[in-house]
Amino acid sequence: AIAQTNLKRLFAYSSIGNMGYALIGIVAGTPEGAGAVILYMLIYMVMTAGVFAIIIGMRHDGIRANHISDLSGISATNPVLAYAMAIFMFSMSGIPPLAGFFGKLFIFQAAVAEQYYILATLGILTSVVAAFYYLKIVKVMFFDESVEPFEKDIPFARRVVLFVAVVFLLAFIFRPEAIVGSAQSAAASLFI
């Protein structure tokens, strides 16, 4: 995924890595690991919905943006989309205090609690590598020269998805306990 320039392919490849993180929680085989997986999958689903709501709507003269370079300088031409995408990229990178960080943290904690130190270490290392391609997108959006602006007409349904996804990821900073508690309760019921 590091060398990938096509946005949809990049996120398809990154989804493989994200499912690997979920498998780490499953391997732990504990209620904590299962809760971490439920939480991570919820967070990942929200992040992915937000990212694809942005990517699908990016068009130049009716032609969809397909490459990372198509995002060049959109912070100047469409700052709302650029900042929303940056929030998703930072969360997917696992940068604290966003939701993606906590999802990965709980998975790695579950692995360490069951003495899967090598697996947790590999997960952390792959997370660092994955952060490179997520942060590359942020760099292109905010620091590269602006290209032709995208059409600003975003359908209402996509705006709702973006709004809900951004609010969820930001709200998680201030009130994670409700979502974490629900995930842990759901996981505990699997182990009765």
Taking only the tens place, the pLDDT of each residue in 5-54 is 888 889 888 999 899 999 999 999 999 999 999 999 999 999 999 998 98
- Give the percent of the chain with pLDDT over 90: 56
Question: What is the phi/psi pair of residue 177, to 5°?
Answer: -60, -35
Identify the pLDDT of residue 4. Answer: 77
User: Under a CB-based contact definition with an 8 Å cutoff, are residues 107 and 25 in contact?
Assistant: yes
Report field, pTM of the whole predicted structure over 0.75 = yes
pLDDT confidence band for 178 (50 / 70 / 90) = confident
Collapsing DSSP states into helix, strand and coil, what is residue 64?
Answer: strand
- In tens, the pLDDT along 45-92 reads 999 999 989 888 787 667 777 889 888 999 998 898 999 999 999 999
Look at residue 60 in the predicted model and tell me its pLDDT: 65
Q: Indicate the SS3 state at residue 16.
A: helix
So what's the pLDDT on residue 70? 87
Instruction: Give residue 5's pLDDT.
Output: 86
The full set of domain ranges for the chain reads 7-185
Q: How many helices (H) and strands (E) does the chain have?
A: 8, 2
Q: What proportions of the chain, in percent to the nearest 5, are helix, strand and coil?
A: 75, 5, 20
